[in-house]
Amino acid sequence: MTTVGIIGAGHIGSTLAKGLVDRGYDVVISNSRGPETLADLVAELGPRARAATADEAAAAGDWAIVTVPLKALDAVPVAPLAGKIVVDTNNYYWERDGRIAELEAGQVTTSRMLQRHLPESRVVKGFNHIMSGDILTDGTPAGTVDRRALATSSDDAEAVEFITALYNQFGFDTVNAGPLDESWRVERDRPAYVVRQNADELEANLARAER
């Protein structure tokens, strides 16, 4: 049985938790306010889900998802995520996160920021450019004509294989944008961001992105 530690229980965290439970995973989900505030969510998710602190969720996961406002990255537990694949859904919204100069100067990517914070983890971008409401509805079986594709990015080849399999379980093709330093191509306001596209269209949109 695979257990997924989820840090963040908002739009994306709760949606992925449901999708994972439906696919036979156990999930341990957390937020900033404490497990007791997640009672309704875990009741809805059923017996495969439990709520915990972020530290406990990180420790319990065979792999993990970090899905919090970017300004909260520094609070993500480090030691319990060492050695683990960590799916990074996070985006930069200066209106919410405050201005982050090195992002605005194009000197870093949001995923690189998480990788820097988690130096012993294997960070892989995932589900960052699809609206939460589409994650459980837009997927189709492999081989479907015009199947929706999602981008990923990682410095770790096995993590790319991992997310490719996970995307497939959720009904999406994968396009690899390359190492984390290339993941700006799928960040906010780039052509590939939050539009429905198949793999060919996504590849083209990644290629024509300008920093």
Ligand X SMILES: NC(=O)c1ccc[n+]([C@@H]2O[C@H](COP(=O)([O-])OP(=O)(O)OC[C@H]3O[C@@H](n4cnc5c(N)ncnc54)[C@H](OP(=O)(O)O)[C@@H]3O)[C@@H](O)[C@H]2O)c1
Residues in contact with ligand X by CB under 6 A are 7-13, 30-33, 54, 67-70, 72, 75, 89-91, 93, 128, 131-132
Closer residue to ligand X, CB minimum distance, 37 or 158:
37
- What are the phi and psi torsion angles at 201 (to 5°)? -65, -40
Report which residue's Cβ sits closest to ligand X.
10
- Tell me how far, at minimum, the Cβ of 87 lies from ligand X, in Å: 11
- Tell me how far, at minimum, the Cβ of 126 lies from ligand X, in Å: 10
Separation between Cα atoms, residue 126 and residue 44, nearest integer Å: 24
Closer residue to ligand X, CB minimum distance, 93 or 204:
93
- Tell me how far, at minimum, the Cβ of 91 lies from ligand X, in Å: 4
Closer residue to ligand X, CB minimum distance, 158 or 170:
170
Closer residue to ligand X, CB minimum distance, 75 or 142:
75
CA atoms within 13 A on the CB side of 1: 9
Closer residue to ligand X, CB minimum distance, 75 or 157:
75
- Tell me how far, at minimum, the Cβ of 162 lies from ligand X, in Å: 19
Please name every residue paired with 65 in a beta bridge, in sequence order, or none if there are none.
6, 87
174 within 8 A of 200, measured Cβ to Cβ:
no
- Tell me how far, at minimum, the Cβ of 34 lies from ligand X, in Å: 8
Closer residue to ligand X, CB minimum distance, 79 or 157:
79
Q: Around Cβ 206, how many Cβ atoms within 10 Å?
A: 22
- Tell me how far, at minimum, the Cβ of 13 lies from ligand X, in Å: 5
